[in-house]
Amino acid sequence: MIVFISGGAKNGKSTIAQDLTVQLSAGGTHYYVATMIPADEEDNERIRRHIEDRDGLGFETIEVGRNILSCLETADCGGTFMLDSVTALLLNELFPDPLCPEMDVESARRCGNDVVTFAQSVKNAVIVSDFIYSDAARYDKVTETYRKCLADIDRKLAAASDVVIEVAAGNMILHKGELPG
């Protein structure tokens, strides 16, 4: 089963995803695929908070900042995977060198296909992304490219998913499929 969860930042998506991952694993192996490469203390604090939130839930953590398919080389594809988040993974792929402002749009396109392939290669996947592309504001070229790439990936994931959930202010809105159990 593939579950895609999207919504605004700090809306409770990760907590909902953790609960669904544990439920889908039915006591089996479940992985937390962490994609953030921290750039500052705020990122480090977010990572600490996520580690605390999943403490005691039995997750095996796999850190994969780029090339999402590489985690399949070391993990059991028969397990249940929570990927948190597509947003951070895309950032890492689009800007592989933090000191160089050049965007790698080709890697970003590959990232979208790889995330779908990843989700289809495992028993269960719960994938988290941020809904950052629907406002009417106009941004600089770099930001617009990032938003467009994320929207493209999210559309692919929604199409490939059995369940699509939007989280708004901690509330789940089911757009496709049925929740397990």
pLDDT of residue 19: 95
pLDDT one-digit tens code per residue, 46-80: 889 888 888 999 999 999 999 999 999 999 999 99
Range of the domain at 88: 2-176
Q: How far apart are CA 103 and CA 114, in angstroms?
A: 18
pLDDT of 126 reads: 98
**In the predicted model, what is the mean pLDDT of residues 129-146?**
89
Establish if 181 belongs to a structural domain. Answer: no
User: Is the CB of residue 18 less than 8 Å from the CB of residue 139?
Assistant: no
Q: What is the CATH number of the domain that holds 15?
A: 3.40.50.300
Convert the pLDDT of each residue in 164-178 to its tens digit. 999 998 899 999 999
97-129 tens-digit pLDDT: 877 778 888 998 899 999 999 999 999 999 999
Residue 116 included in any domain = yes
Phi-psi category of residue 49: left, alpha or beta, with phi > 0 → left and psi -120 to 50 → alpha: alpha
Q: What is the pLDDT of residue 63?
A: 94
Q: Is residue 32 part of a domain?
A: yes
Amino acid of residue 15: T
Total Cβ atoms within 10 A of residue 70: 13
Report the mean per-residue pLDDT for the chain: 93
Its pTM stands at: 0.93
Residues 89/65, Cβ–Cβ less than 8 Å: yes
Domains: count for the chain? 1
Does residue 13 form part of some domain? yes
